[in-house]
Amino acid sequence: MTYYRQRDGIVKSVPGLIRRRAGSHPDCISGMKTAKSGLAARLGRGWTQSDMAPTSRYLEAPRRLRAFVRAHETSLVVLAALIGTIGGLVVVAMSVAVAALHALLFNISIRERLSSQDSIEPLRALLVPSLGGLLLGVVFLLLLRWRPAREIDPIEANALHGGRMSFRGSVIVALQTIWSSGVGASVGLEAGYTQLASGLAASLGRGFHLRRVDQRIMVGCGAAAAIAGAFGAPLAGAFYAFELVIGGYTPASLTPVGIAAVAGYFMTHGFAALSMGIGIGPVGDILGRDLAIAALLGILSALVGIGIMRGVALCETLLAKSRIWPPLRTAFGGLGVGLLALLTPQVMSSGHGALHFSNIVSLPLKVIAGVFVLKAIASVISLGSGFRGGLFFATLFLGALGGRLFSAGFDTIWPGLDLDPNVYAIIGMSALSASVIGGPLTMSFIALESTGNLWLTTAVLVAVMISTMITRELFGYSFATWRFHLRGETIRSAADIGWIRDLTVRSLMRPDVATVDANIGIEEFRGKFPLGSKTQVVAVDPEGHYVGLAVVADAHAPDIEATSALAGLLHYRDVVLHPAMNIQEAIAIFDAAEAESLAVVEPGAEHWPIGILTEAHAMRRYAEESERRRREAVGEF
């Protein structure tokens, strides 16, 4: 069987495409002919010979092995363990690469963290981020000529593309992230970790021709392994995949995702020389009052998180309106970070070193407040000016600082409580990250695995629930889905809605449409279309433009005079469907028009009819696909 790749990334085999098209029509023979002609039309209009390639350019498992993997659920667990191992290696390799860049460009030891330095040479602090940003901007422009399509991340891949990601694109994003953090931009590596690990997992899944649901799970396995390795928290990694990349927990996804997270953790932490994870220090006892105070901290964290996300969008907008040459935008952003680094080096890179800085919580409050403000500004400038990376670790760092400030402020307002600064550093860390990144359980498990304190995790859970709820109520997005919104996308999670977009009016309609001149008389119409020959006929003007829909039974009604014109019986003159509409949009139009059938016309001024779709067929196909996805989600193939 030969596979072909369409421009939008949806892969279909030619025989499979024909069978699916044939099955969507009551008359299978007619549907088969339609599918063949439709394929030829696609080859003529939207596909090119260069688009036709195997499903996986880099890996194609033998057919017998593919069949074995698809037939046995335990085989997915083996693939998940392999993906977890690869994800752990990705974290190690990217971390070492960034450390090497820091050592080379900032003249520090490769075993030291850039953000834990007491000071940085002023000339390096200014030149490295600005020149690095300029070079990154130039590379962006060159890549636009080579790869004009935007690279998709794991969340978007699972929401819209059935878990299909570009391997080459994932490598490019990872390299851009390494460079951005390596030259000192205030961005996290976690976006690069998950992008590359998930991209490798998606390529492996394509090589085995996995089902859509299994392909999405493989992408989640890559992300779980990366986060588990980066933070030393396999539970957090697994729930990151469930909450943010797969879009929900299912029994079918539990074992492979869990195995991948554990494998990623062990692979990363097998390298003792690396310092991964989060270390805050010992924490005191948790009292009942701490649960109520944690809720207040959750509210403040949500407000700060919303401010950071809007700040990034505002920075992007202002720079876009300035019409500055794009490479200069990243150069100016790097220069801004360099200027801030002259005040405190803790603003540079992701902030791992600053958060591991043993005395960060015990520093004077003025210093902590200054680092908090400057780090937030540096993160906004870095991402807003075009550096590649994420906010995961930056928000953990900011949240820890904010929690320390909160505890000090609360003690000032209410003397005698003597709140533990380490406790509220961890609560603030989790609450702010939950607001920006999403995934309340992910952040709760990071706190649990970092401290081992169950009662502290209870207080953290209260804070992250409040923070997430307030963010959803006032803002409605996480940082990732907010950026989708700015690009015009409607997705708010990784829940699979791609199948709905794939189920278009063009794929559902009957193209063998009968047309008639709208100006003919009823008697002539009855002669051309006797009762039982057709249900409805599309009426067109002399140029072939759509005019309305004629119901054959109405024309043969006894009370209709044979001398009258057909134009008086036409329905739905202004209500039509377009071939690119998805099934949900079509059903909504059927419902609003109270129609049982509607004509499908090409968009534009011509309004040429190309088919007919019935509400009954659309509803049946929607119900069938919904049930299929439900069965896949619970493992009932």
Q: What is the domain-level CATH number for residue 476?
A: 1.10.3080.10
Q: Which residue among 221, 239, 273 closes a domain?
A: 273
DSSP strands (E only) in 379-467: none
What per-residue string of b and e applies to 429-462 under the rule 16 or more CB within 10 Å gives b?
bbbbbbbbbbbbbbbbbbbbbbbebeebbbbbbb
pLDDT at 340 over 80: yes
Q: Are residues 526 and 625 in the same domain?
A: yes
636 is a domain residue:
no
Q: Are residues 40 and 75 in the same domain?
A: no
Measured distance CA(62)–CA(44) in Å, rounded: 32
Measured distance CA(188)–CA(353) in Å, rounded: 12
pLDDT at 16 over 80: no
CA angle at 191 for the pair 187 and 193, rounded to the nearest 5°: 115
CA angle at 248 for the pair 242 and 251, rounded to the nearest 5°: 85
Work out the percent of the chain whose per-residue pLDDT is above 90: 47
What's the pLDDT at 67? 85
Contact 471, 306 (CB under 8 A): yes
Distances 631 to 5, 159, 208, 232, 625 between C-alpha atoms, Å: 27, 18, 21, 34, 10
213 is a domain residue:
yes
Q: Are residues 265 and 295 in the same domain?
A: no
Closest by Cα among 169, 228, 176 to 202: 169
The residue to which tokens 């493992």 are assigned:
635
Q: How many CA atoms lie within 13 A of 23 on its CB side?
A: 9
The string of pLDDT tens digits covering residues 66-102 is 888 888 888 899 999 999 999 999 999 999 999 999 9
pLDDT at 275 over 70: no
The string of pLDDT tens digits covering residues 196-249 is 999 999 999 999 999 888 999 999 999 999 999 998 899 999 999 999 999 888
Measured distance CA(105)–CA(25) in Å, rounded: 64
The string of pLDDT tens digits covering residues 367-398 is 899 999 999 999 999 999 999 998 998 999 99
Give residue 625's pLDDT band: very low, low, confident or very high (50, 70, 90): confident
Helix then strand then coil, in percent of the chain rounded to 5, is 65, 5, 30
DSSP strands (E only) in 508-605: 515-517, 536-540, 546-551, 597-601
Q: Are residues 89 and 209 in the same domain?
A: yes
What's the pLDDT at 335? 96
Q: Are residues 152 and 27 in the same domain?
A: no
Q: What is the DSSP letter of 246?
A: I
Contact 205, 235 (CB under 8 A): no
Domain that includes residue 12, residue range: 3-53
> Where does 208-250 have alpha helices with state H?
212-231, 234-240
637 is a domain residue:
no
Q: Are residues 80 and 118 in the same domain?
A: yes
Give residue 628's pLDDT band: very low, low, confident or very high (50, 70, 90): confident
Mean pLDDT of the chain: 83
In degrees and rounded to multiples of 5, residue 571 shows phi and psi of -115, 160
Of 253-262, 354-363, 493-502, 582-591, the one with minimum mean pLDDT is: 354-363
In degrees and rounded to multiples of 5, residue 493 shows phi and psi of -160, 180
pLDDT at 147 over 60: yes
- Give the other-Cβ count within 10 Å of 198's Cβ: 32
Q: Which residue among 241, 273, 305 closes a domain?
A: 273
What's the pLDDT at 80? 96
The alpha carbons of the chain give a radius of gyration, in whole angstroms, of 29
pLDDT at 499 over 60: yes
Q: Are residues 49 and 71 in the same domain?
A: no
Closest by Cα among 257, 198, 73 to 480: 198
What per-residue string of b and e applies to 323-341 under the rule 16 or more CB within 10 Å gives b?
eeebbbbbbbbbbbbbbbb
Q: Which residues contact 319 (CB under 8 A, 6 or more apart)?
A: 329, 332, 384, 385, 386
The residue to which tokens 């260069």 are assigned:
50
pLDDT at 8 over 60: no
CA angle at 508 for the pair 52 and 489, rounded to the nearest 5°: 70
540 is a domain residue:
yes
Q: Are residues 368 and 445 in the same domain?
A: yes
What's the pLDDT at 284? 73
- Torsion sign across C-alpha atoms 278, 281, 287, 289: negative
The string of pLDDT tens digits covering residues 442-451 is 999 999 888 8
512 is a domain residue:
yes
Give residue 635's pLDDT band: very low, low, confident or very high (50, 70, 90): low
The residue to which tokens 């670790």 are assigned:
393
pLDDT at 10 over 60: no
Name the token pair of 553.
Answer: 């039974």
421 is a domain residue:
yes
Q: Are residues 414 and 301 in the same domain?
A: yes
Mean pLDDT confidence for 456-473: 94
Closest by Cα among 421, 447, 347, 332 to 384: 332
Mean pLDDT confidence for 153-157: 90
What's the pLDDT at 29? 35
Q: How many CA atoms lie within 13 A of 452 on its CB side?
A: 3
78 is a domain residue:
yes
Q: Which residue among 486, 515, 537 closes a domain?
A: 486
Name the token pair of 206.
Answer: 């394509």
Q: Are strands 546-551 and 536-540 parallel, antiparallel or unpaired?
A: antiparallel
CA angle at 441 for the pair 436 and 444, rounded to the nearest 5°: 85
Q: Are residues 117 and 184 in the same domain?
A: yes
In degrees and rounded to multiples of 5, residue 148 shows phi and psi of -65, -25
Contact 163, 202 (CB under 8 A): yes
- Helix H or strand E encompassing 12: strand 11-13
pLDDT at 26 over 50: no
Contact 306, 474 (CB under 8 A): yes
Number of domains in the chain: 4
Name the token pair of 225.
Answer: 């392994």
pLDDT at 39 over 50: no
Of 359-368, 462-471, 539-548, the one with minimum mean pLDDT is: 359-368
At position 553, the amino acid (one-letter code) is A
Work out the percent of the chain whose per-residue pLDDT is above 70: 86
239 is a domain residue:
yes
Measured distance CA(222)–CA(185) in Å, rounded: 25
What's the pLDDT at 353? 62
Measured distance CA(600)–CA(454) in Å, rounded: 59
- Torsion sign across C-alpha atoms 20, 21, 25, 29: negative
Of 304-308, 326-330, 486-490, the one with minimum mean pLDDT is: 486-490
Q: Are residues 300 and 427 in the same domain?
A: yes
Give residue 578's pLDDT band: very low, low, confident or very high (50, 70, 90): very high
- Helix H or strand E encompassing 71: helix 63-71
- Give the other-Cβ count within 10 Å of 375's Cβ: 24
